[in-house]
Structure 1
């Protein structure tokens, strides 16, 4: 079974989709898919689907949804015998004491592959190989097909899962840009970072990277204007000033600090990680 959480929910068995169109059964499958090969308690499923006001017949209704999902699993399996599934669909969507478990049968999950590639990128950065890091981070980001669980009605646990995945995406995107800056790709990054600064107007890290890219592209005045815009937004929206790291970067820009032109210098690396 292959699971996709990095975009619309995707669950496939033998290459066939098993995601239902109905909202609540889809939420049940999404929560099971977000916890592959782990028991999900019945109480957790009920809270996720119905919140604090479940219907009186909630246990029966949940069982009905499980039967619907098993029907889709059976359709995906087809009529061919499967020796490794002695209970058929019940070997995939397993009933356990107190809950249910989605057995992926050794399949893949895009969120787990994202984590694996991200770790490879981090190791490459620590080893001083930004080219390999950039490649690994790009491969991780290419797994995304849109906002996490974009087509699922989310309760508290799936909402937290989607938020965590999105934070991980933004973090890896920032690390990929850091690697590309170390490789001297500042000219090609200016456009991307300008878009990110507009999309995330309170994200100091993207603004810091944009300022550095602009400086290295010979646009110091625009870099300083970027700082002033961020300062205004932070003060207006949150009543805050830019972080000490960002103020340090501004001072370095005003002084034309040559350390900003040396991607491998620890000082310039620390300036990049503001926010």
Structure 2
């Protein structure tokens, strides 16, 4: 079985998609995947599925859902079900390789190492490969419960961090002109994310568009002030001051100065 959580939850048995027959059963599986190989107490699962309004026989209904899930995840070729009973609840005993998150995290780790080695083009390619694992928001619309919501929030943060690193690798590799459009879109999609403003300012500055870069700073400053009552952080302020002072420390290093693979 393959479990896909970087988008709406899917369970794949080879090329065949396993049909999850009830929405609450899907929430149950999402919670077990969020705490893969960890025991989740039955009362926590009840709260995850029904939140503040559980039925009178919630524990018994939970047991029915567990039984149905076990049937779905078991077949003649896999006679041992991965859902195990472990007091005070249950755990899903699947390896990391069975979940699409593993491919994402592995590609991110490889991209980080390539970036540290100064191999910026290869790093950007690895980060793009990691992002290609995503099919939409993590676990789709299953985020009403505390367990799944916290897990999906962590995954979404990891995705944004990967996006930042991919942009950074592209800028370090001299791709500032071609990244401007994408960075503009990212600042609109994530207006509280200062890193994208900084990267956009840097791309514009290196493309001899200092005035546009300063306008980006003013837009970021206005949004942060209106939404949070804050001034931009130090990285944004530093690049703004460097542009105003015609300081060349944010210029792209000459080819001879760059680390080569």
TM-score (normalizing by structure 2) = 0.90
Q: Within 5 A, what are the aligned runs for 1:86-235? A: 88=79, 91-104=81-94, 107-235=97-225
Deviation at 1:98, TM superposition (A): 2.3
Pairs within 5 Å for 1:65-84? 65-74=65-74, 77=75, 81-82=76-77
Structure 1 residue 219 displacement after superposition: 1.0
SS of 1:154's equivalent? coil
Shift of 1:105: 6.3
| Structure 2 alignment gaps of length 5 or more | 255-261
Asked if 2 retains the 8 angstrom alpha-carbon contact of 1:18 and 1:69, the reply is no
Structure 1 residues 37 and 223, CA, compared in 2 at 3 Å: closer, same or farther?
A: same
Question: 1:159-197 CA deviation, whole Å, 9 max, x = no partner?
Answer: 011111001100110011000001111111000000011
> Counterparts of 1:36 and 1:256 in 2: how far apart (Å)?
52
Corresponding residue pairs, total: 254
Does the CA contact (< 8 Å) of 1:5 and 1:34 recur in 2?
Answer: no
In structure 1, stretches of 5+ residues that fail to align are 265-275
CA distance in 2, matches of 1:226, 1:155: 38
Q: Normalized against structure 1, the TM-score is what? A: 0.86
**Does 1:31 pair with 2:21?**
no
CA contact (8 A) 1:130 1:183 kept: yes
After superposition, residues 7-26 of structure 1 pair within 5 angstroms as 7-26=7-26
The offset of 1:220, in angstroms, is 0.9
Contact 1:23/1:153, CA 8 A, preserved across alignment: no
